[in-house]
Structure 1
């Protein structure tokens, strides 16, 4: 079977991008041919993938996306495939992977009414309508229970077209049998790179799009720690984004020497084992896969309830969840509680590892492939 996968941008450190790659590789491993249409691709191309960088340009993103769609449609008319799978909303999809929240809901609740008269709104609303309208035949892969009611509310999408997937945590994120030894090695590396001492506390925040992930909130919470804890604590933020405003914030708060933003990294598992807590105070997050990556590594979590996967942390009793509406003081208190209680961190770690051993947190690629390959229009 020939499959076509469509996404605007691929880079190695994005959650949607990692999910796309694992799903496509799973389909390939089952014997199917993979063609990929992108506007941009960073990193290595897997063997056997036919990668097409669509050669279109425009000043505004929505115009570029419209040109991308027309180019792909033209190419597919000349070289048909058995399934078209999209990781961004667009017309003509057989299967859509719903990593993004409901655009119409955001447009109506977070924007002024005038916004809905612009060409940008019209483009994205039409592309969402093409996927979720009742008459559409697109099957929808859902990764969060929070968004389905919104799509149903605005579009009346039949429930039978939604397929809820389990999380898809990569096996290399799980704590290995030699986790203690790897933690020791990781912290030795961090001592050289970040000046981490043996009795220091390391906070890690993982994910690109720092404003949405709440990195400013994390820096403020670090600055608000009691002095005895603050002196022992460092924060490393990993992700592909502009670090300057956040480093400036840390400098203004007097903790510039305690905040590090090294960019995207390939050694995330080392941080999950070597850190003392994960911070993820996101403003909005459809899922928050990194919460589960921390959980299966045995790393306590402090996150916001705005994350779709926050309930797993509560279910496992593996950290602290900040309720909505968010307040900075609640995050400050939670971080001080977590860092100040060694016994609680040990308990949360034990709970996390036990939960990781019995819950299905891993089979997203396989379940997604089942839907893609079994789809009937």
Structure 2
């Protein structure tokens, strides 16, 4: 686990050359956003940071060097193999003090894990037969390469539940695993808060009237996030209540497929897909409920972001951060296994109880003022720099 004893002494800190490797960067991905924040934080500490990626879809980052590498292949798992080969060659060149990866590949000094344990997932779903398919064989091999006893990579994880699964399956040494707290960017959410007339105008631009309810979901990969579950839950509401609801989805996904689902249940004109947006804070402040019935979610930053902004949250229990909702009494958590009727009832109960929504929103906001949900980036920088220092010490000893 992370040693929290004291901050790094910047005045005595050596400048390290740090490499970050990620398959692709796009502006609105959670993993990608954390990678960028870590890279920028390391650069601000005085280190020279180079990001190696197959694609960079977003604004440039002047504080770090970005190099585009040809990771493209005919399939996703072949892309991972190319990345593995690239990192091993990069390591052989010995040009960097620390190589940090955000995909499961070999040769890493530090791995930042945003995904669930694949072997555990396949076992739980009785789908271990998939290990004989080339795709899954590759992914499982890479997972073992990172977490197995033959590796010495430092591993940054963001979910205690997943950390325990990796320890159990791969016998990963506890001192290799660094459990990071959430890394909510409070300034991003609470600067220039949308209130009063500005909030009313923003809602109107989304087609939301003054007496209507804005139900919000934030996230990409719409099937995984349960957008169809949310649409079905809204469709189940009584006609009078249903006509007062607007469902707004912010993120990237297969819009056409889910527009069709909405049209089939009579909600075609009441569902708005905005695509990725840089002004995400405005949506939280304009909303009435965050609805996040995800099928799987390692953590779920959007749950905490909503709580910070005072928005009531409804989520499924398999979201890694769902426990914060319960601790704060900031909304409702639907237990696993998923029960469609229960989600429908929970949504109805919260939408029809204005006092409860206001209370839950206040509870969440107050909880987030004192909880440690902001320090992930600082702790992550410590792990990376400490590994660079360790590598340098080992090189000197040799």
Fold agreement, TM-score > 0.5? yes
1:97 matches 2:112 = yes
Q: Deviations over 1:186-205 (max 9, x none)?
A: 331221x3321111100110
The separation in 1 between residues aligned to 2:333 and 2:56, in whole angstroms, is 35
Deviations 1:8-44 (A, max 9, x none): 1111111111111111111111000111111121012
Separation in 2 of the partners of 1:238 and 1:309?
Answer: 19
Asked if the contact 2:116/2:162 (under 8 Å) is kept, the reply is yes
Structure 1 unaligned residues grouped into runs of 5+: none
Structure 2: distance between partners of 1:213 and 1:107 = 19
Check the 8 A contact 1:175/1:298 in 2, yes or no: no
1:149 deviation in Å?
1.5
Pick from 247, 257, 260: which aligns with 1:235?
A: 247
Per the TM alignment, residue 152 of structure 1 is displaced from its structure 2 partner at its CA by 1.2
Deviations 1:183-236 (A, max 9, x none): 541331221x33211111001100000000000000001101112211111000
Question: What CA distance in whole angstroms lies between the structure 2 residues aligned with 1:173 and 1:341?
Answer: 30
1:317, 1:352 within 8 Å by CA — same for their partners in 2?
yes
| Whole-Å separation in 1 of the counterparts to 2:362 and 2:71 | 51
Structure 1 equivalent of residue 236 of structure 2: 224
CA contact (8 A) 1:173 1:293 kept: no
Answer yes or no: is 1:208 the counterpart of 2:223.
no
Describe how 1:309-328 pairs up with structure 2 within 5 A: 309-328=321-340
Aligned to 1:85: 100
Q: Is the 8 Å Cα contact of residues 37 and 72 (structure 1) preserved in structure 2?
A: no
**Partner residue in 1 for 2:395:** none
Q: Distance in 1 between matches of 2:196 and 2:186?
A: 17
Deviation for aligned residue 1:111? 5.5
- RMSD of aligned residue pairs (Cα, Å): 1.5
Contact 1:173–1:296 (8 Å) recurs in 2: no
Residue aligned with 1:205, SS: strand
**2:287 matches 1:275:** yes
TM-score when normalising by structure 2? 0.91
Q: What is the distance in 1 between the residues matched to 2:242 and 2:128?
A: 44
Alignment match of 1:114 (pick from 118, 122, 129): 129
Runs of at least 5 residues in structure 2 that lack an aligned partner in the other structure? 1-15, 392-398
Residue 187 (structure 1) aligns with: 200
- What do the CA deviations read for 1:44-67 (whole angstroms, capped 9, x no partner)? 221132212112432111112211
| 1:265 and 2:277 are equivalent in the alignment | yes
How many residues end up aligned between the 2 structures? 374
Given that residues 186 and 308 in structure 2 are in contact (C-alpha distance below 8 angstroms), is that contact kept between their aligned partners in structure 1? no
CA shift for structure 1 position 114: 3.1
Question: Aligned pair in 2 of structure 1 residues 18, 30: CA closer, same or farther (>3 Å)?
Answer: same
For residue 18 of structure 2, give the secondary structure of its aligned residue in structure 1: strand
Counterpart in 2 of 1:144? Answer: 159
Equivalent residue, structure 2, for 1:362? 374
Are the structure 2 counterparts of residues 335 and 173 from structure 1 closer, same or farther at C-alpha, using a change threshold of 3 Å?
A: farther
Q: Is 1:134 aligned to residue 146 of structure 2?
A: no
TM-score, normalised to structure 1, is 0.96
Q: Distance in 2 between matches of 1:84 and 1:241?
A: 31
Alignment partner of 1:146: what SS?
helix
- The residue matched to 1:147 in structure 2 has which SS? helix
CA distance in structure 2 between the partners assigned to 1:67 and 1:145 by the alignment: 30
Question: Counterpart of 1:225 in 2: which secondary structure?
Answer: coil
Q: Contact (CA 8 Å) 1:85, 1:95: kept in 2 or not?
A: yes
Distance 1:28 1:357 in 2: 28
